[in-house]
Amino acid sequence: MNSCVFRPARLDDASAIAELFRKSYASATDSDIAYPYPQLLSPPGVRALMSRANVLWRVAEGPQGVVGSFGSVFSCQPPFVNVAEPFGLVVDARARRQGVGARLFQEILEALKATGARVILSDTRTREAGGIAIVRAAGFEPVGFVPWGHRTPGGMEAMLYCAWVLPKKDAPRRDEIVLPPRALALRRCFEANRSFAFSGEPGLVSLPLPTPVEPHEMIPPSIIRVRGMESVEATVSLIQTMQGRSGFSQPLVHLIGIGGLAKAADRFVEVAFVATARGNNVGGLVASFDCLDGRIRVLEAASLGTSVTTALLSKIEEWRDSRGMSGVHPPTLVLDVRADEVTLLTELERRGYIPTTLHPRLLMETHADGPKCIDVFRYELLASVPSAIPDSVRVWPEACAIAKCVIETCQDLSLASTIDAAHESDRE
Ligand SMILES: CC(C)(COP(=O)(O)OP(=O)(O)OC[C@H]1O[C@@H](n2cnc3c(N)ncnc32)[C@H](O)[C@@H]1OP(=O)(O)O)[C@@H](O)C(=O)NCCC(=O)NCCS
């Protein structure tokens, strides 16, 4: 590492950076590169990302050229005030285990803190132990487990979510929210396990690979709608006009801007749904389907009430099923929901969605008595939890401990009956 210079990335580093990613994530045949952010695999994609105003990027340069790269998106827009998400820590195989990765991580962390970062998120691999070692050494805490995070040539890889949250209570959480049972169980579990200790060697993660789907098989006629003839763009505008009204769920995609760029890649198909009642638009939802992973992510959602949001989700589930998606395992549906959307959280739990991540204090809103922070839960509808989970947790102890929290939360039958009972009493 002594021979390395650490500096901001330049546009003319793009080819070297894309090459680092290709080499690190390609299979032996070089034909199966399924890195979840395809834009990092091509020089134009790297340049486009680097040119964004909300992206920081650092490289490590040795005598032979660029040997390490790490970037981050950040947001200062409400409600994602001073929130950042680093991405793509990669070091050339010949330069590993010399402190380059840890130094790049520190460089980005310091740069983010200098921008006033309040929350820094980190999506971390489980098949390679280096990433989590670096993230934990930097003071990040585990906040979630993603059973089928990334498709890799060797199989589906589970991911861990970690976060660094500014310890100073500059903005208190909103008054204690009464969470539904699974969300509460997950929060308690994370709070009780702050010191997940990392030790041991990583094991093999061997989840089955989903069967890829050709993008043209998934493209809907132009839009799938509850009613109406809206385009994806029109649905996004509709959603924007609805934000701030009651009953909306706000996903993280505004922050994870590289997910936004990935939309342009062939492997992602977007669908929009609009709900109308008596001729008025009452809700909209845009989702992205990953033809390689089989995952559907809710990108934008807004509605005038929980029943509309859940009707929209039902439409996506129907769309997935009508496309024969049950053969594409593991079909998952992912969405992020504010912790104060208690009715929606409860309804999701009743429908079998599982909270897999708790992002503490992610949102910040201005209220009459000052700024208030709000947690965000990630919920996933996992089609085959019981059979797949045992494989996915054969990683290493820390991943197991975090995964266990999530899995026990979702498998606890007493919680399931509590949810049903709560739902019944709501209906009475
Ligand atoms: C992960 C990666 C970036 C680490 O880079 P690196 O330069 O080798 O990391 P460092 O030398 O700075 O090591 C930092 C710490 O991680 C530990 N570490 C690194 N690689 C490790 C490994 N394979 N197994 C166990 N520990 C490891 C080091 O021991 C060191 O801890 P220490 O300070 O207690 O000794 C590199 O291995 C890589 O590019 N992997 C492929 C892409 C990837 O997985 N990226 C991470 C995404 S989350």
The ranges assigned to domains in the chain are 5-192, 215-427
Q: Domain 215-427 falls in which CATH fold?
A: Aminopeptidase (3.40.630)
Q: Which residues contact 113 (CB under 8 A, 6 or more apart)?
A: none
Question: For ligand 1, what atom is nearest to the CA of residue 100?
Answer: 7
Mean pLDDT value of segment 411-417? 52
Which of the residue ranges 23-27, 97-101, 234-238, 402-406 has the most confident prediction, judged by mean pLDDT?
97-101
Distance separating alpha carbons of residues 248 and 245, to the nearest angstrom: 7
The Å distance, Cα 138 to ligand 1 centre, comes to 13
Length of the chain (residues): 428
Which pLDDT value is given to residue 389?
41
Q: Which of 58, 125, 128 to mutate to test the pocket of ligand 1 (most atoms within 8 A of CB)?
A: 128
User: Residue 288 is which amino acid?
Assistant: S
Q: Which residues contact 117 (CB under 8 A, 6 or more apart)?
A: 74, 82, 83, 84, 166
Longest dimension (CA), the chain: 72
- Both structure tokens of 22: 């290709």
- Both structure tokens of 200: 């041991």
Residue having the nearest C-alpha atom to atom 37 of ligand 1: 130
| Whether pLDDT at 134 is above 80 | yes
With cut-offs at 50, 70 and 90, classify the pLDDT of residue 262. Answer: low
Which pLDDT value is given to residue 375?
86
Q: Which residues line ligand 1 (CB under 6 A)?
A: 24, 89-91, 96-102, 124-125, 128-131, 133-134
Q: Check if the beta carbon of residue 269 is closer than 8 Å to that of residue 57.
A: no
Which pLDDT value is given to residue 203?
40
The Å distance, Cα 358 to ligand 1 centre, comes to 25
Which pLDDT value is given to residue 263?
53
Question: For ligand 1, what atom is nearest to the CA of residue 135?
Answer: 48
Q: Is the dihedral of CA 307, 310, 316, 318 positive or negative?
A: negative
Distance separating alpha carbons of residues 335 and 359, to the nearest angstrom: 13
Q: Given 3.30.950.10, 1.10.10.60, 3.40.630.30, 3.40.30.10, which CATH number is that of 5-192?
A: 3.40.630.30
Q: Is the dihedral of CA 225, 227, 229, 230 positive or negative?
A: negative
pLDDT digits (tens, 9 = 90+) for 325-343: 554 555 578 888 888 888 8
Residue having the nearest C-alpha atom to atom 24 of ligand 1: 129
Same fold: 5-192 with 215-427: yes
Q: Check if the beta carbon of residue 80 is closer than 8 Å to that of residue 254.
A: yes
The Å distance, Cα 20 to ligand 1 centre, comes to 15
The Å distance, Cα 130 to ligand 1 centre, comes to 3
Q: Which residues contact 301 (CB under 8 A, 6 or more apart)?
A: 239, 248, 249, 250, 251, 283, 284, 285, 286, 309, 312, 335
**132-158 per-residue burial string, b: 16 or more CB within 10 A, e: under 16:** bebbbebebbbbbbbbbbbbbeebbbb
Which pLDDT value is given to residue 249?
46
Question: For ligand 1, what atom is nearest to the CA of residue 128?
Answer: 44
The Å distance, Cα 134 to ligand 1 centre, comes to 7
With residue 344 as reference, give the H or E element that holds it.
helix 342-350
Q: What is the reported pTM?
A: 0.81
Residue having the nearest C-alpha atom to atom 9 of ligand 1: 101
Which pLDDT value is given to residue 220?
41
Question: For ligand 1, what atom is nearest to the CA of residue 202?
Answer: 24
CA distances from 377 to 1, 15, 110, 268 (A): 39, 37, 27, 24
Q: Check if the beta carbon of residue 121 is closer than 8 Å to that of residue 127.
A: no
Residue having the nearest C-alpha atom to atom 42 of ligand 1: 90
The Å distance, Cα 253 to ligand 1 centre, comes to 27
pLDDT digits (tens, 9 = 90+) for 366-398: 888 888 888 888 888 765 543 334 444 444 445
| Whether pLDDT at 117 is above 50 | yes
